[in-house]
A = this chain, B = another copy of it.
Amino acid sequence: MSLVVQKFGGSSVANAERIHRAARRAIVAQEAGKRVIVVVSAMGDETDRLLELARQINANPSRRELDQLLATGEQVSIALMAMAIHQAGREATSLTGGQIEMRTNRAFGRARIREIAQRERIDKLLDGGHIVIVAGFQGIDEESNVTTLGRGGSDTTAVALAAALGADECEIYTDVDGIYTADPRIVPNARKLGEIAYDEMLELAALGAQVMHSRSIELANNYNVVVHVRSSFSDAKGTLIVKETQEMEKVVVRGAALKKNLARVSLLGAPVGGGLAAGVFAKVAEAGLVVDDIIQNVQHGDGTTNISFTTSADDIAEARSIAQALARELKFRAVEIDQEVAKISVVGIGMRSHTGVAAKMFDTLAAAGVVIENISTSEIVIGCIIRRADGDKALRAVHEAFHLDRDGTVGAG
């Protein structure tokens, strides 16, 4: 008998009517002969409501107590979901992270799952015909302190359960109906993908695709869990995130992404010396700033060099103060901040076996009048830093050039 894990995010359980709709999905799957585990997030704005309560009490709450507080959001959802399934005349039992003994480390707010100790309890309930409802986002450490898994935590819970119990599929219900070749708001003929490889999805997530958090995709990859991203609001098939196959490699570029909210921080005119870059990025990492790309600049004739990196534009105030401290300490001539940059990237596992992708991308951007300011590449990604004002134009041009609106295998040549 096949097992499916269905995960419903906050917007899919935001009110009674949506909870009933999610309950019906679980029941339909059970009627189709499947064993069903449902993972739910906190209702709609519940997490924000709880954070606001905390903020009224303490501007800087302890992470342990914050997790104790936030975990109630999912506990409310699981109880209501079980009640909705009962209302439809089916058996269901809700279980918290503590009740399934979702054991994590003690990193409150960003805990890592170690094991699910009560798999037998879940199995027994499934054997008894129950739909089992599990609270997403939460676990417990070895002392039974409540932990939470951080951003995308409920996806991680769903994938971990699918892995631990050997589910055939982990369905992620969201407000989009799948993964697209590019953001359809910018590229009107963007196409929904039937399937995408874990590595490709990981790169797209890193490039800002909000659909699933990297951690849950990594976990799915590690345990070979088939993830099905689909819409809460329709029955259409969504996108399967799967292990790559030889067939999939025939597609050179799976998708294109535009990361708009970037800023470039440049440290100008540093005296060249041993370990300069290492020194800079050690300090940046220490300050907790997430660096997107590091830009290596050529050495000047006067024995100085420039070091640049891009970071989220949201963190620019922090980045500026770090850069200024570094400039003083390491005797850079000046700090320059450019908040008008973006990154256009193409992603595809097919790049490993195809050549000419980079050249085609550069030609395409040049033909569209887009100036490339920096290039970064990995095995399956080519990214170019460009002016933010050119972003939408660049994305449409690249999408067109690689024929992403069409299904099938397209060469690079």
Query: With an 8 A cutoff between CB atoms, is A412 at the interface?
Result: no
Q: How many copies does the complex hold?
A: 2
> Complex formed: what's the CA distance from A7 to B58 in Å?
22
Nearest CB on B from A180, distance (A): 34
List the B residue with the shortest CB-CB distance to A17. B56
Query: With an 8 A cutoff between CB atoms, is A380 at the interface?
Result: no
Nearest CB on B from A21, distance (A): 12
The answer to whether A66 and B79 have CB atoms under 8 Å apart is yes
B-facing residues in A47-67 (Cβ within 8 Å)? 50, 53-54, 56-58, 61-62, 64-66
Known: A65-B94, A82-B65, A144-B99. A58 touches B72 (CB 8 A): no
Encode contact with B along A233-248: 1 for CB under 8 Å, 0 otherwise.
0000000000000000
Q: Looking at chain A, what size class is its interface with the partner chain?
A: 35 or more
> Complex formed: what's the CA distance from A79 to B65 in Å?
5
Known: A65-B94, A98-B144, A144-B98. A72 touches B83 (CB 8 A): no
Q: Which residues in B have their C-beta under 8 angstroms from that of A61? A: 83, 86
Query: With an 8 A cutoff between CB atoms, is A376 at the interface?
Result: no
Q: Which residues in B have their C-beta under 8 angstroms from that of A99? A: 144-145
The answer to whether A68 and B57 have CB atoms under 8 Å apart is no
Q: Which of B58, B68, B76, B82 contacts A94 (CB 8 A)?
A: B68
Q: Which residues in B have their C-beta under 8 angstroms from that of A50? A: 76
A-B contact pairs, 11 of them (CB 8 A): A16-B53, A54-B79, A57-B87, A58-B83, A58-B87, A61-B86, A62-B83, A65-B94, A75-B75, A98-B144, A99-B144
Interface residues of A (CB under 8 A from B): 16, 19-20, 50, 53-54, 56-58, 61-62, 64-66, 68-69, 71-72, 75-76, 78-80, 82-84, 86-87, 93-94, 96, 98-99, 121, 143-146
The answer to whether B86 and A80 have CB atoms under 8 Å apart is no
Known: A80-B53, A80-B57. A86 touches B65 (CB 8 A): yes
> Complex formed: what's the CA distance from A76 to B68 in Å?
8
Q: Which residues in B have their C-beta under 8 angstroms from that of A82? A: 62, 65, 68
The answer to whether A56 and B86 have CB atoms under 8 Å apart is no
Nearest CB on B from A292, distance (A): 34
